[in-house]
């Protein structure tokens, strides 16, 4: 199975009479973008569009999701299968990527666990999204919707907008063509026979109550752990739909560009055999946690793995799931590495995870989400600055004439548990 990603670099964005790519510039028709974003959805009351570029004195909040515009040009399926296109399996053929830009959904969001993006200043260094050319959709919905309807309307709006912009790259010539060849786990690539086999356990937040993730359009909270090919993830099979704290939320952009999968594919056949990705979930009840952890361990054993990488999303309740996955794998003789952030208190002296196990003896930390930062005022706010005092990581008094004072958990992606950012933590 071969997936090709054709990267089309975008170095500037701007409004124009039609949406197209010229050189490294993405021209966008605002009228068409709004029309495609709404797509006749009666739940949407209004859509405002704006642009935010790296280095500008702009703050975006509250942010719901970030999505990379893409278009499927060869092979089965389409973008965001099960939600925007059909349910055909993706992960092979060719997909064109508008690299360097993103769709950001913001404005009237559902809950308090949303985040902010600063395009400049001290806050910008904590989020990869400050380096992107962002097309921001400020979406309002009609009164009376349930919270789940509200979330769905926002989620689908962002995906439609990203698919619309991605179409502009259909006929563009990629500057770079990345080729990823994936082999069935029981069919060895030449020269891989004596290398250690490694599986990836990809935990998706799925606790319900707006903590949802979608695989081929299916909410994964009722999913038993399942095996997917790495290219399926890279080709848009997983979509975010949750409202977890912004710092360690996996947006759709994170799923599209999962760095763990990229690194394992890069090293496949060199110093390891990448056996596959087990998509797993985080559950609410103890019974469901035990079921998923044991089933995931069984799949990894069936793959014949010597080692596994575990990533999770969120904190608190998902910490227990991660430790169960780790313990089950270690007891089966599979050496594991966990990637996680920490909630160790403002001074870093509190217990950093809600649960642990002696089996978790190889842990990579992506930083302390409780660390406080002060962010100065900006010239322009896209969205609503007043919500900062109600957001996770904010508090009463966070907003003042001097700017805002918040915990890192307020900044989108700051301690992302896929290892997207540069933060880490080290014990003394």
| pLDDT tens, position by position, 306-354 | 999 999 998 888 999 999 999 999 999 999 999 999 998 888 888 888 8
Place of tokens 């990488």: 309
List, for residues 108-119, the tens digit of each pLDDT value: 777 667 899 999
Note if 20 is an active site residue: no
User: Which pLDDT does position 188 carry in this prediction?
Assistant: 53
The catalytic residue among 243, 247, 282, 326 is 243
Q: Give the CA distances from residue 225 to residues 239, 262, 296, 373, 407, in Å, rounded to whole numbers and listed in that order.
A: 17, 21, 5, 38, 33
The DSSP code sequence of 24-71 is TEEEE-HHHHHHHHHTT-TTEEEEEEEEE-TTSSEEEEEEEEEE--EE
Place of tokens 């790296």: 54
Place of tokens 């709006």: 157
Instruction: Decide if 321 contacts 221 (C-beta within 8 A).
Output: no
Cα 162 from Cα 254, distance rounded (Å): 14
The answer, yes or no, to whether residue 187 has pLDDT greater than 70, is no
Question: Taking the complete model, does pTM exceed 0.85, yes or no?
Answer: yes
Cα 146 from Cα 134, distance rounded (Å): 29
Q: Taking each helix axis from N to C terminus, what angle separates 317-331 and 286-302, rounded to the nearest 10 degrees?
A: 40
Cα 193 from Cα 2, distance rounded (Å): 21
The answer, yes or no, to whether residue 288 has pLDDT greater than 60, is yes
Cα 366 from Cα 387, distance rounded (Å): 26
Average pLDDT, the chain: 92
Q: Where are the domains of the chain?
A: 2-183+193-410
The answer, yes or no, to whether residue 211 has pLDDT greater than 80, is yes
Cα 426 from Cα 323, distance rounded (Å): 20
User: Which pLDDT does position 3 carry in this prediction?
Assistant: 95
Cα 273 from Cα 306, distance rounded (Å): 10
The DSSP code sequence of 154-168 is HHHHHHHHHHHHHGG
Query: How many Å from the N-terminal Cα to the C-terminal Cα in the chain?
Result: 45
């Amino acid at each position: 199975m071969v997936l090709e990603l054709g990267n089309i670099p975008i170095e500037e964005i701007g409004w124009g009479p039609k949406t197209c790519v010229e050189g490294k510039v993405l021209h966008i028709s605002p009228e068409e973008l709004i029309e495609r974003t709404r797509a006749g959805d009666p739940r949407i009351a209004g859509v405002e569009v704006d642009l935010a570029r790296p280095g500008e004195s702009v703050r975006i909040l509250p942010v719901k999701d970030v999505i990379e515009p893409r278009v499927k040009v060869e092979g089965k399926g389409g973008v965001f299968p099960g939600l925007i296109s059909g349910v055909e399996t993706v992960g092979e053929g060719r997909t064109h990527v508008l690299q360097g830009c993103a769709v950001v959904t913001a404005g009237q969001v559902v809950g308090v666990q949303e985040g902010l993006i600063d395009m400049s200043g001290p806050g910008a260094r904590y989020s990869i999204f400050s380096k992107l050319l962002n097309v921001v959709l400020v979406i309002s919905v009609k009164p009376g919707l349930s919270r789940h309807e509200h979330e769905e309307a926002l989620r689908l709006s962002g995906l439609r907008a990203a698919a619309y912009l991605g179409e502009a790259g259909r006929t563009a010539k990629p500057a770079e063509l990345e080729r990823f060849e994936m082999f069935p786990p029981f069919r060895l690539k030449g020269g891989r026979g004596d290398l250690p086999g490694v599986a990836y356990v990809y935990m998706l937040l799925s606790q319900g109550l707006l903590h949802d993730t979608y695989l081929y359009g299916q909410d994964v909270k009722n999913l038993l752990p399942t095996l997917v090919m790495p290219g399926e993830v890279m080709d848009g099979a997983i979509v975010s739909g949750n409202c977890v704290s912004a710092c360690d939320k996996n947006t759709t952009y994170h799923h599209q560009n999962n760095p763990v999968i990229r690194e394992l594919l890069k090293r496949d056949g060199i110093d390891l055999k990448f056996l596959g990705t087990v998509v797993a979930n985080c559950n609410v009840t103890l019974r469901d946690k035990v079921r998923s952890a044991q089933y995931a361990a069984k799949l990894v054993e069936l793959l014949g793995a010597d080692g596994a990488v575990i990533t999770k999303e969120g904190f608190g309740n998902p910490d227990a799931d991660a430790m169960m996955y780790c313990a089950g794998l270690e007891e089966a003789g599979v050496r594991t590495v966990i990637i996680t952030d920490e909630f160790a208190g403002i001074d870093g002296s509190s217990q950093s995870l809600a649960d642990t196990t002696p089996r978790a003896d190889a842990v990579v930390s992506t930083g302390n989400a409780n660390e406080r930062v002060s962010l100065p005022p900006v010239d322009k706010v896209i969205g609503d600055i007043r919500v900062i005092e109600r957001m996770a990581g904010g508090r009463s008094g966070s907003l003042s004439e001097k700017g805002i004072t918040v915990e890192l958990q307020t900044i989108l992606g700051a301690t992302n548990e896929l290892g997207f950012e540069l933060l880490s933590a080290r014990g003394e």
